[in-house]
Amino acid sequence: MMRNIIGAILGIALLAAVGSAQKALKGSGSGEQILINGGGATFPYPMYSKWFDTYHKKFPTLAFNYASIGSSGGIKQVTEGTVDFGASDGPMSDDQLKQFREKRGCNVLHFPTVLGADVPTYNIPGIKEQLNFTGEALVGIFFGKITKWNDPELTKANPGVNLPANNIVVVHRSEGSGTTYVWVDYLSKISPEWKQKVGVAGSVNWPVGLGGKGNEGVSGQIQQTPNSIGYVELIYAIQSKMTYGKVKNSSGVFVSANLASVTAAAARASKEMPDDFRVSITNADGKDVYPISSFTWLLIPEKIADATKKKAITDFLKWMLTDGQNQTEALDYARLPKPVVDKEMKAIARIQ
């Protein structure tokens, strides 16, 4: 079932989605027909698809059309007002918030929906083990300073593994991406040099590497290129049966990304969550924490002129934060901590 969902990610097209949503509404019987349009992050698409389908079955006159176009696209579209909501794996920057206010005349609100993670995935002929990666090794690889698989930074973290002396081929996203934002946010916390020279954004000037569009492009490059390494979202790696490594956290423990380790990353953030919900949980404290974890957000305009759409969106948010959270773990997402949910439920009242 999940492989079919991943296939849907790869093949989704905006026109097809619109047609499907319109068809659903036409067949929903009598009553006012409501179509809510959104677009953005690819990482939560399987979860959003499940939620939107479940909610439509509960309320047949309401349908959601979501285009899985990447976080940068979601921010752009919600800022331009071409969608009712956006979605991003990285919070909007201060500059992006300013641009939104200038164009839309109001603020945009961030609502965390689920938790996920980026994982380092690789293709080394003859190596089947789950490798260990230090943050320093990942920075060195993506800076182009660590160029061989048998570099001491890699061999000392993987005793007993016969890493080859082959050149490392780096693969990264070619387009603006929330997945990239989370990855470089982590690298910037490990390396001040990375933060200064490359920075933290959905799209950066990569020092080295090949570009792939979307998780499918990155994974395709890795699968076709011996001795390569790249980063993809955990849900994609699991469902595509890709080999991915453990990452050393701030407590010095090599941890594999899974529901428990991603949930652990959010535990501290849930107590220190800012009012605007723009928070980074990469490299969080705790021996059980996977260090490249993140929330993903829905981006909702603070003012929605259409009263019907406003009610539909706010009602959905309340459902998503309660009943909807019960569907997350079946799709390999981590549910939101209760303190975060409680804070979000109060924030819904800010939508006017």
216 and 306, same domain (yes or no)? no
Residue 100's nearest CA partner among 72, 76, 83 is 76
236 and 159, same domain (yes or no)? yes
Q: What is the pLDDT of residues 95-132, one digit of tens each?
A: 999 999 999 999 999 999 999 899 999 999 999 899 99
240 and 314, same domain (yes or no)? no
147 and 217, same domain (yes or no)? yes
Q: Which residue has the tokens 């090599």?
A: 254
Q: Output Rg (C-alpha) for the chain, integer angstroms.
A: 20
**Residue 64 sits in which domain range?**
2-116+294-350
43 and 136, same domain (yes or no)? no
157 and 253, same domain (yes or no)? yes
Contacts of residue 100, defined as CB under 8 A and 6 or more positions apart, other chains included, come to 78, 79, 92, 107, 108
26 and 66, same domain (yes or no)? yes
Q: What is the pLDDT of residues 278-295, one digit of tens each?
A: 999 999 999 999 999 999
Q: What is the pLDDT of residues 192-243, one digit of tens each?
A: 999 999 999 888 999 999 999 888 889 889 999 999 999 999 988 887 889 9
193 and 112, same domain (yes or no)? no
CATH number, domain of 148, equals 3.40.190.10
137 and 256, same domain (yes or no)? yes
- Give how many domains the chain has, as a whole number: 2
Kindly report the pTM of this predicted structure.
0.85
Domain edge (last residue) among 252, 269, 286: 269
Domain edge (last residue) among 236, 252, 269: 269
